[in-house]
Structure 1
């Protein structure tokens, strides 16, 4: 069973589950704990489907664009990947952190505490970028409003999100559509309200990014 709660780290979410299911792109990255292992889930450009692994999973899902400052690794290096934290940080340091979490009465709280101790202050430009794109603002207009050139915006997006701003906008649009459709809004209205040209455009994007039709996603509770 999957459960989540807001983290004490602004914009983040702490979750627990069995590690199985279809993980949809969301512009985020996760720090994961599973059976004595610390892993990082990089930013996805397509649905990540897994049958799960032995034992339970705990994760902290960073707000979009905030994980690279914590990890010290550009997001594009982890795009569509799951890696051991020891591949990114010194093995001795990761071993110490694993022991600390394993000894804690609640791994989720211990994982959250670890992140809170090392988290960097939020980047106001990245926050403004996500807010604008999530509201459906065009990428070019957003770049102008932020005082960034197209190339500079693309470089910053690769580092923060793992892909360019157009891909981020597309993923955020998908998330808006899923929220509307999940609330019972008819698909045609969902398409228009979330920024798609029409219902067919919505259907194509859902199939490409999520791997299955919208109706199947809703039936699965995603």
Structure 2
């Protein structure tokens, strides 16, 4: 389905046509993007707890987990990507998430240049690169380690606003073990993941029309000032600038996806 929402595209968000639908891999999302006019604005990406495998004009790269707004890089004309649910990508990629934290890495650096080149050529030569990428991920994932149900439970509880301590008790593992496993699965500790997911909840509420103070409390922040600090720290902007950027996107003559993962 087409959504007015900007997504991760190798470190940049830009105006154009964005579409997403459920991927063949359980819990993942398949998305595509075609660029708008060269004069359109490019926007940073906000942390969302996810990792992506991206085909960009024939290149394959991995977008690792972000801890802060990512400064835009070069922009391709066409993208197709698989957005993995938090914690699912490391088993597929064969590398701990913390090694990719705040990085965009060519797939060849992880799988070897020859294998990555063959896969990239197969996807590029396909009539529908997005479908080819989707199928390639499904096939490879069949031989990869299964997602850890404990870590999926961790994500679910933190996304629902539960504390790290309460989450550790609920899943039956100690705080140190949870931190160690979170580094491998998410790229950072559970406290950082909780902050990222909380900010996503708060900004979604703000965009839905909730007053800042109400959005802050409903998302799990102490108050509006707390949300303002988290927005500055993680998104690199203010709440006012974030909302203004979303409004500008909504009113643009060139439809520009906007959402809780981008910043003005």
Using structure 1 for the length normalisation, give the TM-score: 0.95
CA offset digits 1:78-101 (Å, max 9, x no partner): 000001000000222112101110
Pick from 165, 185, 190 the counterpart of residue 215 of structure 2: 190
Alignment-derived partner of residue 102 in structure 1 = 124
Q: Is the Cα contact below 8 Å between 2:91 and 2:147 reproduced in 1?
A: no
Bigger Cα displacement from structure 2, 2-11 vs 165-174: 2-11
CA offset digits 1:6-45 (Å, max 9, x no partner): 2222221122223942211011100011121100000000
Q: Is the Cα contact below 8 Å between 1:32 and 1:40 reproduced in 2?
A: yes
| Higher relative helix content | 1
Q: CA deviation at 1:52?
A: 4.0
Bigger Cα displacement from structure 2, 196-205 vs 90-99: 90-99
- 1:67-146, aligned counterparts within 5 Å? 67-119=89-141, 120=144, 121-146=146-171
- 1:1-222, aligned counterparts within 5 Å? 1=16, 2-17=18-33, 18=35, 20-50=42-72, 52-119=74-141, 120=144, 121-218=146-243, 219-220=245-246, 221-222=258-259
The 1:87/1:51 distance shift into structure 2, 3 A limit, reads: closer
Q: What CA distance in whole angstroms lies between the structure 2 residues aligned with 1:124 and 1:151?
A: 18
Q: What CA distance in whole angstroms lies between the structure 1 residues aligned with 2:22 and 2:74?
A: 23
Bigger Cα displacement from structure 2, 78-87 vs 55-64: 55-64
Q: CA deviation at 1:51?
A: 5.3
Equivalent residue of 1:50, what SS?
coil
Unaligned runs of 5+ in 2: 1-15, 37-41, 247-257, 260-264
Question: Larger relative contact order (C-alpha < 8 A, sep ≥ 6)?
Answer: 2
Q: What CA distance in whole angstroms lies between the structure 2 residues aligned with 1:4 and 1:13?
A: 7
Q: CA deviation at 1:106?
A: 1.1
Equivalent residue of 1:48, what SS?
coil
Q: What CA distance in whole angstroms lies between the structure 1 residues aligned with 2:61 and 2:121?
A: 14
Unaligned runs of 5+ in 1: none
Q: What CA distance in whole angstroms lies between the structure 1 residues aligned with 2:32 and 2:95?
A: 25
Q: What CA distance in whole angstroms lies between the structure 2 residues aligned with 1:215 and 1:26?
A: 20
Q: CA deviation at 1:48?
A: 1.1
Q: Which runs of 4+ in 1 moved over 3 A?
A: none
Using structure 2 for the length normalisation, give the TM-score: 0.81
